[in-house]
Amino acid sequence: MRTTLTLDPDVADKLRQEQRRRQCSFKEIVNEILRLGLSLCAKPPRKEKPFRIAARHMGLRTGIDPDRLNQLADQLETERFRETDS
């Protein structure tokens, strides 16, 4: 089938480079590259296993609120500062 196709300059340059490298006609290289691209589009996407994180017990003592650990760290730092300041 004969058709007119307008290529972006960068695409045309890459096709010509590949044409020279393989020493074939422009028609052959365009058809080969189009076939390759279309075959990649036709394949269904690979299904990867979902990423899962296993929850683990943090081992916190009773009475320690994990949402307030920064406050606990600040209190400990303040106590340490007071001990060294005295």
Q: Convert the pLDDT of each residue in 6-48 to its tens digit.
A: 999 999 999 999 999 999 999 999 999 999 999 888 777 778 8
What separation in angstroms does the CA of 26 have from each of 2, 6, 69, 72?
14, 14, 67, 71
User: Letter for the amino acid at 5?
Assistant: L
pLDDT band of residue 84 (cuts 50, 70, 90) is confident
Tell me the whole-structure pTM to 2 decimals.
0.48
pLDDT value, residue 69? 84
* Distance from the Cα of residue 33 to its chain's centroid: 26
Q: Convert the pLDDT of each residue in 45-77 to its tens digit.
A: 778 888 899 988 878 788 778 788 888 889 899
Domain boundaries in the chain?
9-42
pLDDT value, residue 86? 65
